[in-house]
C-alpha cells in the first residue's frame, strides 16, 4: 500500500505494511510516527467498527517505511485502514504499485481533507503515481494532472466499493470554482492612476518582463510604496503548474489560499523576524519568501531590516529555493520571486531633497545606504499606459524568452552560459563593456546583470539581437 509523505514541498513514497495475527487485542504503528499518526490508531479502529468490521482478537502492527523518515499528520489514515482490511482478508482486491491513498478518517468512516493535500498530489505526479484516492477539498481548484488519475472519495466505504468493483461507489459532486484571473488586479493601483514617474514605470516594466530585482530610493512621499503596490498589476497571470505550486505553499503555511491566478504579493514589515520571512519553526513551514513564489516580495524601508535577515536572502535570490534545517526535519521550499525594495537615501530621509534639509552626517548616510544606488528622479509628469497595456507587453516579452530558452525561464534567472549562447554580444560590444568595467571598477556580477537587462530591453522591443542602445540603457538602469 502506497501513500505520500512530505518534507516541505518535496514528496516521497511511504510504504504501508500491516502484519496481523490472532492473539490479544493489540494495535501499534511504527516507523517514526508523530503524535497525529499515533492517534490514527483510534480513528481507524472506530471507523472500521462503524462500518461493521471488528478487530477483536487481532494483534496488528503497521509499519510506515522508510523507517528513518519522520511521518507527520493524519494523511496516512486512509491507506492504513485499507491495508488493515487487506491483511484481515476483509477486502479482496489487487492494488497496483502505482496506486496511492491519502486522507484523514473521521470516526464515522468519512474521509476528510488535510493540510498539505495539494503538495501531496503534485508530489504523487512527480513520483510516477498513476492513480490517487483522495478526499475532495472545495477550497482547491479542479485538478487535472495527466497522466495522474484522481479519484475523489467521501468515505471509507466508497474506497472499498471502488476497489472491490461492487459498483456501489459514486463519485462525489465536485463544484468547479469559477476563477477570475483579474479579480485580484482590482485591488492594485493601475499604472495610469500614478501621475509622473515615467522612468520608474519603465524600469518596473523591464523588471517584470525579465524577472529582475529592483531597488527604489528617494525621500519620503515621493511614491516608492505607491509604485511597488501597483507592480503586481503588470505581471502576467500564473500558468496552471505555477498556480498549483503557489496554492501548495499557502496550504503548507496555513494561510488562506489565493483564489485568482494573479501572482502573489507579499509585504512584510521591517520588524518581522527572520523566521517569518525565510521560514522555519519546530516543524519548518514556508516563510514570506516562499509565499511570494512566482510573485513579488516587497521590502519597504529595506535599510531597517536586520543585516542577518538580508544575508539570509542570498541563497533564495541566487538558487530560487530555500533549505531550512531544524532538529525535527530538513525541508526545501521553492522561493523564486522578484525582490522589490524601497529605502530612504539616509536615516532622516531627505538627503538630496530640494524641499527639506538633511540632518544626517556623511558617515550616517554611508552607513545607512550600504548599497551603491542613488535616488531616481520621479518628477516627470506625463500620461502613461494603463496596467493592462503594460501587462500585454510584459507577457509578449516573456513569451519571446520562453521560446528562445525552450522553457519558462526569464533573462533574470536563465544560466548565463545559455543566455550568451542564445543571444551573444558582438566582439566589439564585449570589448567596450570590458573597457568600461575596468574604468568603473565593476565586478563580473555587475557586467552579467547589465547584459541580462539589455537582453530584456531588446525583448520588450521585439529585437532579436542586443544593440549598443540596449546596453547603454541597461548600464544607466544598473548604475542609477
DSSP annotation string for 274-330? HHHHHEETTTTEE-HHHHTTTSEEEEETGGGS-HHHHHTTHHHHHHSEEEEE-SS-E
What are the distances in angstroms from CA 216 to CA 172, 204, 223, 228, 297?
51, 10, 9, 9, 14
pLDDT of the residue at 347: 64
Q: What is the mean pLDDT of the chain?
A: 86
- What's the sign of the alpha-carbon dihedral 222, 390, 188, 116? negative
pTM, rounded to two decimals: 0.82
pLDDT of the residue at 190: 85
User: 331 pLDDT exceeds 70?
Assistant: yes
What is the arithmetic mean of pLDDT over 313-335?
Answer: 85
pLDDT digits (tens, 9 = 90+) for 10-36: 889 999 999 998 888 899 999 999 999
**What confidence category does residue 353 fall into, taking pLDDT thresholds of 50, 70 and 90?**
low
Which of these, 328, 229, 412, lies nearest to 8 by C-alpha position?
Answer: 328
Q: Which CATH superfamily is 184-411 part of?
A: P-loop containing nucleotide triphosphate hydrolases (3.40.50.300)
pLDDT digits (tens, 9 = 90+) for 54-69: 888 899 999 999 988 8
Kindly report which listed range (39-43, 315-319, 452-456) carries the lowest average pLDDT score.
315-319
pLDDT digits (tens, 9 = 90+) for 116-166: 899 999 999 999 999 999 998 887 777 888 889 999 999 999 899 889 876
pLDDT digits (tens, 9 = 90+) for 383-442: 567 889 999 999 999 999 999 999 999 999 999 999 999 999 999 999 999 999 999 888
Residue range(s) of every CATH 3.40.50.300 domain in the chain = 184-411
Is residue 403 classed as helix, strand or coil in its secondary structure?
Answer: helix
What is the arithmetic mean of pLDDT over 99-114?
Answer: 94
What is the arithmetic mean of pLDDT over 197-203?
Answer: 86
- Give 469's contacts (C-beta < 8 A, 6+ positions apart): none
Distance CA 174, CA 140 (A): 10
Distance CA 164, CA 118 (A): 27
pLDDT of the residue at 146: 84
Cell of 264: 502573489
pLDDT of the residue at 359: 72
What is the per-residue burial (b if ≥16 Cβ within 10 Å, else e) of 233-262?
Answer: bbbbbbeeebbbbbbbbbbbbeeebbebbb
User: 184 pLDDT exceeds 60?
Assistant: no
Residue range(s) of every CATH 3.30.230.10 domain in the chain = 2-164
pLDDT of the residue at 356: 66
- What's the sign of the alpha-carbon dihedral 97, 99, 100, 103? negative
pLDDT of the residue at 380: 45
- What's the sign of the alpha-carbon dihedral 126, 132, 138, 144? positive
Which CATH code fits 2-164? 3.30.230.10
Distance CA 477, CA 450 (A): 8
Kindly report which listed range (39-48, 53-62, 135-144, 212-221) carries the lowest average pLDDT score.
135-144
User: 372 pLDDT exceeds 80?
Assistant: no
What is the arithmetic mean of pLDDT over 278-283?
Answer: 81
The secondary element (H helix, E strand) that includes residue 111 is strand 111-112
pLDDT of the residue at 121: 93
User: 374 pLDDT exceeds 70?
Assistant: no
- Give 77's contacts (C-beta < 8 A, 6+ positions apart): 40, 43, 44, 47, 103, 104, 105, 111
Kindly report which listed range (353-367, 402-416, 463-477) carries the lowest average pLDDT score.
353-367
Distance CA 96, CA 1 (A): 9
pLDDT digits (tens, 9 = 90+) for 128-140: 999 999 998 887 7
Percent of the chain with pLDDT over 90: 52
Burial of residue 168 (number of CB atoms within 10 Å: 0-12, 13-18, 19+): exposed
Cell of 327: 532538529
Is residue 359 classed as helix, strand or coil in its secondary structure?
Answer: coil
What is the arithmetic mean of pLDDT over 354-362?
Answer: 69
Amino acid at each position: 500500500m502506497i501513500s505520500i509523505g512530505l518534507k516541505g514541498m518535496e514528496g516521497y513514497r511511504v510504504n504501508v505494511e500491516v502484519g496481523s495475527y490472532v492473539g490479544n487485542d493489540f494495535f501499534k504503528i511504527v516507523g517514526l510516527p508523530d503524535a497525529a499518526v499515533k492517534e490514527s490508531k483510534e480513528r481507524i479502529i472506530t471507523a472500521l467498527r462503524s462500518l461493521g468490521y471488528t478487530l477483536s482478537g487481532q494483534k496488528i502492527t503497521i509499519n510506515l517505511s522508510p523507517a528513518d523518515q519522520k511521518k507527520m499528520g493524519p494523511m496516512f489514515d486512509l491507506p492504513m485502514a485499507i491495508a488493515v482490511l487487506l491483511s484481515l482478508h476483509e477486502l479482496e482486491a489487487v492494488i497496483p504499485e502505482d496506486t496511492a491513498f491519502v486522507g484523514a478518517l473521521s470516526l464515522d468512516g468519512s474521509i476528510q481533507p488535510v493540510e498539505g493535500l495539494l503538495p501531496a498530489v503534485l508530489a504523487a505526479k512527480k513520483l510516477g503515481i498513476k492513480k490517487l484516492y483522495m478526499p475532495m477539498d472545495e477550497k482547491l481548484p479542479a485538478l487535472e494532472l495527466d497522466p495522474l488519475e484522481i479519484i475523489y472519495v467521501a468515505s471509507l466505504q466508497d474506497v472499498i466499493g471502488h476497489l472491490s468493483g461492487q459498483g456501489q461507489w459514486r463519485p462525489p459532486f465536485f463544484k468547479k470554482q469559477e476563477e477570475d484571473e483579474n479579480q485580484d488586479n482590482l485591488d492594485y493601483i493601475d499604472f495610469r492612476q500614478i501621475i509622473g514617474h515615467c522612468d520608474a514605470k519603465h524600469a518596473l516594466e523591464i523588471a517584470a518582463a525579465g524577472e529582475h530585482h529592483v531597488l527604489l530610493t528617494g525621500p519620503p512621499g515621493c511614491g516608492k510604496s505607491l509604485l511597488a503596490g501597483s507592480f503586481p498589476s503588470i505581471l502576467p497571470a500564473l500558468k496552471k503548474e505555477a498556480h498549483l505550486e503557489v496554492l501548495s505553499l499557502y496550504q503548507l503555511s496555513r494561510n488562506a489560499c489565493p483564489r485568482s491566478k494573479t501572482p502573489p504579493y507579499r509585504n512584510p514589515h521591517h520588524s518581522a523576524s527572520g523566521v517569518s520571512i525565510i521560514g522555519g519553526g519546530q516543524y519548518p513551514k514556508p516563510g514570506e519568501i516562499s509565499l511570494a513564489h512566482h510573485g513579488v516580495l516587497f521590502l519597504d524601508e529595506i535599510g531597517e531590516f536586520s543585516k542577518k535577515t538580508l544575508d539570509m536572502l542570498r541563497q533564495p535570490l541566487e538558487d530560487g529555493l530555500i533549505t531550512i534545517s531544524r532538529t525535527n526535519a530538513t525541508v526545501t521550499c521553492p522561493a523564486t520571486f522578484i525582490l522589490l525594495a524601497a529605502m530612504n537615501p539616509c536615516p532622516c530621509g531627505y538627503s538630496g531633497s530640494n524641499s527639506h534639509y538633511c540632518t544626517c552626517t556623511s558617515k550616517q548616510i554611508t552607513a545607512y545606504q550600504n548599497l551603491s544606488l542613488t535616488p531616481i528622479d520621479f518628477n516627470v509628469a506625463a500620461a502613461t499606459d494603463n496596467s493592462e497595456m503594460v501587462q500585454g507587453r510584459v507577457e509578449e516579452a516573456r513569451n519571446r524568452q520562453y521560446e528562445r530558452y525552450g522553457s519558462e525561464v526569464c533573462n533574470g534567472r536563465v544560466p548565463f552560459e545559455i543566455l550568451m549562447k542564445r543571444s551573444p554580444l558582438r566582439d566589439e560590444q564585449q570589448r567596450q563593456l570590458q573597457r568600461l568595467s575596468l574604468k568603473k571598477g565593476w565586478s563580473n556580477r555587475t557586467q552579467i546583470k547589465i547584459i541580462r537587462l539589455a537582453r530584456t530591453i531588446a525583448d520588450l522591443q521585439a529585437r532579436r539581437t542586443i544593440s549598443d542602445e540596449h546596453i547603454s540603457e541597461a548600464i544607466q538602469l544598473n548604475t542609477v
